[in-house]
Structure 1
């Protein structure tokens, strides 16, 4: 992980982009602690995928807890077909 000042990013943008693309994460420090993080698109996509997976697993856990607490209704195929 690299940390640089925002002014250094302006002066060294290409070389910093190359480092980020090679797997490095870059923290860009700004006044008032309004820092930003620069990472590759691949790393960003992996983080978003992990977040979606965590959200999906949480939804499944909630559904399982509701089912175990009796929060579901059982219907036969014939009963379901009658709704058509």
Structure 2
């Protein structure tokens, strides 16, 4: 995570925005009176929102944790997938 002040960001906006999007950096823009702002890429934001949604639903969370437990204990099976032609 990077922290820069507002003036530095303003003077180097493109450079810092590229760093956020290309290097998946999260940036804290510091401001007076501790009114800081966090900048992150849209991709990171969407991922964060999706994780909050999935993990915020108890049924989804329990299902994921059970699946992880099965994977960690070696209870897995491998299946061959068949391509389906939906035009038929």
TM bin (shorter chain): 0.5 to 0.7
Q: Secondary structure at the match of 1:24?
A: coil
Q: Structure 1 residues 60, 6: CA separation in 2 closer, same or farther (over 3 Å shift)?
A: closer
Q: Secondary structure at the match of 1:7?
A: helix
Q: Which stretches of structure 1, 4 residues or more, deviate above 4 A after TM superposition?
A: 58-61
Bigger Rg, structure 1 or 2: 1
Equivalent residue, structure 1, for 2:4: 4
Equivalent residue, structure 1, for 2:46: 45
The TM-score with structure 1 as length reference comes to 0.66
Structure 2: gaps of 5 or more residues: 63-88
Equivalent residue, structure 2, for 1:71: none
**Per-residue displacement from partner, 1:16-65 (whole Å, max 9, x unpaired)?**
0000002111110011111111000000001000110122226887xxxx
How many equivalent residue pairs? 61
Equivalent residue, structure 1, for 2:28: 27
Equivalent residue, structure 2, for 1:14: 14
Which structure dedicates a bigger proportion of its chain to helix?
1
Equivalent residue, structure 2, for 1:54: 55
Structure 1: gaps of 5 or more residues: 62-84
